[in-house]
Amino acid sequence: MKKQIPDRGLCCPGKGLGRATAPVLAGLTLALVAAVGTPPVEAAVFQLTDPNQEVVGRAFYVKSRKEDTLLDIGRQNNMGYDDMRHANQKVDTWVPKAGSDVLVPESFVLPDAPHQGIVLNLAEKRLYFYPSSGREVYTFAISIGRDGLNTPKGRFKITAKVKDPTWTPTAQHHADRAKEGREPLPAVVPAGPDNPLGQYALRTSAPSILIHGTNKPWGLGMEVSRGCIRMYPEGVEKLFPMVSVNEPITIVDQPYKFGWRGNDLYLEVHRDPEEGAAPLHDVVPARLAQSPEVALDWEEVRRVVEENTGLPQRVGGRQSAANRLYLDMIF
């Protein structure tokens, strides 16, 4: 049963903007949901009421059960490892206490990219799909390439769709396997439960890069692949029939995403904790920092960047015409 909480723009404890007493998140409401053994969510889908809409979704809490890990709750709700870990920094990843409130960060600033076909943001490890209707967007948690085998950025397209793919390990796969002292791989791994590509694969125009399922879904939401994009089995099953050969693919790397919801400006951060935060004037694009139409709260920007929760939080708004006139009169 879902418990709706009145929308006050407040989702969790912490400092606020202006007179608020908590971070102002992009969710319209906050729902408290009991985690139950229902099938995992295939995708989060949001209706786009405006073709220029920049912020979608809402965050909500679930109650953890004794047997849950954050990865279990993430899998249930189309979230990856980093999604859950960053949004719940005070909750033990592997042994959250039974009955704990676990935040599911199902609220997103849409990446700064064309709202066409597939858009991947490497920094947040998330895939967005915009159907040609332009009326909705689907989002999926993904894994991407690890250091040294990074998933490439750029514009590509789908070149083939394969149901029940076989997998041909590369020479490097065989060498790594031998080095680790593990059992050799066959020359070709047939379709089935032992195939790491899962049941569906989308070939792309990026050399050797596939979008595919996996037979090990519990590692999703991390940088673990050799460059390919992994999806939950239920996620790729949902995406596969919706896309076509020649579907455009845009891959970006945007750790700092800004978006408007009405007159409120939101910032969503997915920075690498090991690399530290960028200077604030590098975080905020000039079109916002230098605009007389935008009132930025730089302390809120600093807090959101430092906390690095992956949740959209309000950091400013539009200057009112009255305020601009008043300032013009003073100066």
Does residue 118 belong to any structural domain of this protein?
no
**Domain check: are 192 and 260 in the same one?**
no
Q: What is the CA radius of gyration of the chain?
A: 21
Does residue 133 belong to any structural domain of this protein?
no
**What's the domain count of the chain?**
3
Task: Check 174, 228, 270, 281 and give the catalytic one.
Answer: 228
Does residue 125 belong to any structural domain of this protein?
no
214-256, pLDDT tens digit by residue? 998 887 999 888 889 999 999 999 999 999 999 999 999 999 9
With b for 16 or more beta-carbon neighbours within 10 A and e for fewer, the 40-77 pattern comes to ebbbbebebeeeebbbbbbbbbbbbbeebbbbbbbbbb
Taking a C-beta distance cutoff of 8 angstroms, is the pair 109, 55 a contact?
yes
Based on the residue annotation, tell me whether 11 is a catalytic residue of this protein: no
Q: Which distant-in-sequence residues (6+ apart) come within 8 Å of 272 by Cβ?
A: 255
Query: What was the pLDDT predicted at 82?
Result: 95
Which of 199, 225, 252 is the last residue in one of the domains?
252
Does residue 327 carry a pLDDT above 60? no
**Domain check: are 162 and 204 in the same one?**
yes
Indicate the SS3 state at residue 148. coil
Tell me how far the alpha carbon of residue 131 is from its chain's centroid.
18
Average pLDDT over residues 68-92: 95
First to last CA, the chain: 56
* Residue of 42, 45, 34, 43 whose CA lies nearest to 68: 34
Check the CA dihedral 49-40-257-127 and report its sign: negative
CA 231 vs CA 8, 42, 213, 240: distances in Å? 34, 10, 5, 11
Tell me how far the alpha carbon of residue 62 is from its chain's centroid.
18
Which of 252, 284, 300 is the last residue in one of the domains?
252
104-139, pLDDT tens digit by residue? 999 999 999 999 999 999 999 999 999 999 999 999
Largest interatomic CA distance in the chain: 78
**Domain check: are 310 and 296 in the same one?**
yes
Which of 109, 133, 153 is the last residue in one of the domains?
109
Q: What is the DSSP string of 151-189?
A: PPPEEEEEEEEEES--B---HHHHHHHHHTTPPPPPSSB
Taking a C-beta distance cutoff of 8 angstroms, is the pair 283, 304 a contact?
no
Average pLDDT over residues 318-330: 53
Query: What was the pLDDT predicted at 24?
Result: 59
**Pair of tokens at residue 148:** 């040294």
Judged by average pLDDT, the poorest of 45-49, 63-67, 75-79, 169-173 is: 169-173
Give the integer Cα–Cα distance in Å for 178 and 197.
Answer: 21
* Residue of 212, 115, 126, 195 whose CA lies nearest to 161: 212
**Domain check: are 264 and 247 in the same one?**
no
Domain of 261?
256-330
